[in-house]
Amino acid sequence: MAKRPTILDVARHAGVSKSTVSLVLQNSALVKDSTREKVTQSMTALNYVYNRSAAGLRGTPSGLIGLIINDLRNPFFTEFAASAQMRFAEAGYSTVIANADENPEIQAQVIAAMIEHGVSAFVLSPSYGGDAEAFDRIARAGKPAMQVMRKADDRTDLFPLYAPDFAHGGELATDHLMQLGCRSIAFVGGLEDRSVTAERMSGYYQVMAREGATPRVLSGRPTKNFGRAVALKFAEEPAAPEAAVCFSDLVALGMLSGFAEAGIALGRDFRLVGFDDIEDAATAFPPLSSIHCGPQEIGIETAETMLHWLDEGEKPAPERRTAVSLIARRSSLGSNEPVTPLDPRLDPPS
C-alpha cells in the first residue's frame, strides 16, 4: 500500500504551490477557475484524500457533532437520532452517534473520548444520575452542548434544554379520557425520580385535581414487560380503573398485549392512551392513542438550532418546549372509528 498522497504531491502533479492546493481545498475565491480545475484533476488522478487530522491541528473545526443517546434501542430516541444526523449531514457535518445505555459512566467515558477526537459540539439526550463531572468537562472544553428530551444538568444557561411540552401532553391525554366519560384513570409507568416522569405526570395530576377525581399512580420501568404486568393485574382487580395514561408507548403496548391476553377489549372495557406516538402505536391492534411528540421534528430542529449556534455563534434560549398533540385512535375511542383500508400495493416504496 503506497503512502497516501499529500497536498504537496498534488501541488507537484498540478505544477502549483501547495498553498494553492490548500486554497482549492477551502473553496477559496482567490484561485483562478482554470487553476482550480487543474488541481482538482490532479487530486482525483492521485487519489488524494483530505487529512482532517492535519487540518484539525491548525485549529480548523472538525465538523464533527457528538450525539449521545441515553437509549438507542428505544425507537423514540432512534428516530430522533437518525433525523438529527440527517439534518447535520445536509449541512456538511458528520455525526458521531453513541449509545450511553442509560449509564452515566458510559456517558462520561463517551464524552471524554469525543472531546479527544475533537468534536465541535455535543447534542445529548442524557442519561440520568452520575455527577456533574461529564458536563463540567464539556464546559471546560468550551464545546457548545444542548440537552434534548431530558434535563440531566440544571445549568440550562450552559446546556440549553430542548424538549417536548410533556406536561401539556399529560394534560391532553387525561382530558381526552375524561371527555370519553372516564373518571377513574390511572397513570402507569415511569420512574419517579426522573424529570420526564414528573413532567408527564404533572399534567395528569392537574386534570385529575380539576375534575375532583382521585389519581392512582403505578410507577415502574418504562418497558413493555411492566405494562403487560399491570394490565394482567388490572384484569384480576375488581375495582380496576376504567382507563390509563401511560408514561410511554412502550408501556402502553405492553398493556395492550396484556389486555389482549386477558380478553379485555380496548376502547370498550378499558381506554388507553400512550405517550410518544412511536411508529408501532399506529400499527398496533387496536391502534394506540398517543401523545405525538415528533422525535423527527425535534431531531431536525435540534440540529438546526445547533447549526445556528455553531455557524452564527448565537446561543439558544435556556429552555424551549415544542408543541405536542393528541392522536386519538381506537385504544381510547373504541371501534366506532373507521378502520383505515390497506392494500399491499399501496405500501409506499422507499
Contact 213, 185 (CB under 8 A): yes
| Residue 221 β-bridge partners | none
Under 8 Å between Cβ of 98 and 66:
yes
Positive or negative: CA dihedral 138, 198, 82, 69: positive
Number of residues near its own copies (by CB under 8 A):
76
| Angle CA 85–87–89, to nearest 5 | 70
Total residues in contact with DNA, by rule CB under 7 A: 31
Edge-first strand listing for the sheet containing 216-218: 216-218, 185-188, 243-246, 271-273
Q: How far apart are alpha carbons 218 and 247 in whole angstroms?
A: 10
Number of helices (H) and strands (E) in the chain: give both, helices first.
14, 12
Binding-site member from 2, 27, 44, 59 for DNA (CB under 7 A)? 59
Cis amide prior to 348 (ω within 30 degrees): no
Query: Closest separation between CB of residue 56 and DNA, Å?
Result: 8
* Residue 209 binding: pick among its own copies, DNA, none (C-beta 5-8 Å cut-off by kind): none
Judged by beta carbon distances under 5 to 8 A according to partner kind, the member of its own copies, DNA, none in contact with residue 126 is none
The single residue among 1, 2, 27, 33 that binds DNA, judged by CB under 7 A, is 33
Q: Is 100 helix (H, G, I), strand (E, B) or coil?
A: coil
302 binds its own copies (CB under 8 A): no
Q: How many CB atoms lie within 10 A of CB 141?
A: 16
Does 196 participate in binding its own copies (rule CB under 8 A)? no
Binding residue for its own copies (CB under 8 A) from 181, 212, 313, 349? Answer: 349
DSSP letter for 50, please. -
Number of other residues whose CB lies within 10 A of the CB of residue 309: 17
Per CB under 7 A, 243 contacts DNA = no
Q: How far is the CB of 47 from DNA (least distance, A)?
A: 11
Q: Is 233 in the site for its own copies (CB under 8 A)?
A: yes
50-89: contacts with its own copies (CB under 8 A): 50-54, 56-57, 62, 64, 72-73, 75, 78-79, 81-82, 85-86, 89
120 binds its own copies (CB under 8 A): no
CB of 225 to its own copies, least distance (A): 5
Site membership for DNA, residue 30 (CB under 7 A): yes
One-letter identity of residue 211: E
Pick what 26 binds: its own copies, DNA, none; C-beta below 5 to 8 Å, kind-dependent.
DNA
Supply the DSSP symbol for 264: P
Q: What are phi and psi of 143, to 5 degrees?
A: -90, 135
Is the CB of 33 or the CB of 116 nearer to its own copies?
Answer: 116
Residues 127-166 that bind DNA (CB under 7 A): none
- 215 interface partner picked from its own copies, DNA, none, CB below 5 to 8 A per type: none
* Site residues for DNA per CB under 7 A: 3-4, 6-8, 15-20, 22-23, 25-26, 29-33, 35, 48-51, 54-55, 57-60
